[in-house]
Chain A
Amino acid sequence: MSPTDSAAWRAALSVALPVAAYGISFGALSVASGLDVWQTSVLSLLMFSGGSQFALIGVLAGGGTGGAAIAGAALLGARNSFYAMRMASVVGRRPIWRTLVAAHLTIDESTAVAISQPPGRAQRIGFWVTGAAIFIGWNATTLAGALLGDLLGDPRAYGLDAAAAAAFVGLLWPRLHARQPIAVAVAAAVVATALTPALPTGLPVLAAAAVAVVVGLTDWLGRREP
């Protein structure tokens, strides 16, 4: 194995192992939100995108409607479309079955590991190894967490509701690298909190998405390109 190949393997596995481990918390939080073990496992198998999965169970746990839960999960999943556009040149568009498998494995981590490798074979190793390892690990730990969560009882006594909020902090943190995303994050948090008493559960989060659309289209607070 060439040095770039083994570097890609190392990067893939060092990202995949901790991410797969926190499927435990997803499984436990999901059953605490009222989903059963089967529904929880199907979410990890079919949806396979952490942010969308946490969003869906968060809206349902808060008493939101099914429509709001689906919209929240889909809007958070929209970024995967952009990862897919980027990964199409790495994994190729043919054969179709391979592209479909690649599409399913296209998430934050597999994309991030792939694009941080040198172009060619190392990028493909980064994508496939990260995606496959997380898929296997995430689904195994989701099931373990769901079974464990069923035994635990009242989730608040264990602080699981706080852990759910902390999970979103962890997903958000790496994205706060410049003035513009920080401003959008603060504004979105304020909008969502302010609208919580006024709108049905789940909708304040979607309303906060409007902040991103306005700032994104006008490039307010954006970096001036030299």
Chain B
Amino acid sequence: MTVWQVVLLAGIAVLALKIAGYLVPPAVLEKPRISRTSDLLTVALLAALVAVQTLGQGQAVVVDARLPAVVLAAILFALRAPFIVALVAAALCAALLRAAGLAV
């Protein structure tokens, strides 16, 4: 599959999911089991992405400069720092650790 095909198919899928929500009868939303599972699905995927993006390198699990950077970002989010501030801090942390030779 080319990158263009992935971009277009995924884009259409996400847009179709939004449109589908306007077409279903409102009663489906009232089912707590469905809305709860949807909320938890988002949480699980985001948490899994945090783990894989922090520790994964292809199929290997490695600890490098990303880990302290992500911990710093989590602390900043806990302190209610703006999104962009936490991201820049994480990037700077990893970049400085690498430049100083303290981490790969």
| Interface magnitude class on chain B | 35 or more
Tell me whether A163 and B90 are in contact (CB under 8 A). yes
Q: How far is the CA of A65 from the CA of B2 in the complex (A)?
A: 10
* Nearest Cβ on chain A to B94's Cβ, whole angstroms: 3
B37-95 contacts to A, CB under 8 A, are: 37-56, 58-61, 65-66, 69-70, 73-74, 77-78, 82-84, 86-88, 90-95
Q: How far is the CA of A56 from the CA of B7 in the complex (A)?
A: 8
What 0/1 readout, one digit per residue, does chain A (85-97) give for beta carbons within 8 Å of chain B? 1111100010000
| Interface magnitude class on chain A | 35 or more
Known: A74-B13, A88-B21, A103-B19. A82 touches B29 (CB 8 A): yes
Chain B residue at minimum C-beta to C-beta distance from A158: B95
**18 A–B contact pairs at CB < 8 A?**
A21-B84, A42-B8, A70-B6, A73-B13, A74-B10, A74-B13, A78-B38, A82-B38, A160-B91, A162-B54, A162-B94, A166-B69, A166-B90, A172-B50, A173-B78, A185-B46, A201-B58, A217-B37
**8 shortest interchain CB distances as A-B pairs:** A84-B21, A216-B37, A159-B94, A66-B1, A46-B11, A162-B69, A166-B73, A208-B48
Interface of B toward A, CB cutoff 8 Å? 1-15, 17-22, 24, 26, 28-29, 33, 35-56, 58-61, 65-66, 69-70, 73-74, 77-78, 82-84, 86-88, 90-96, 98-99
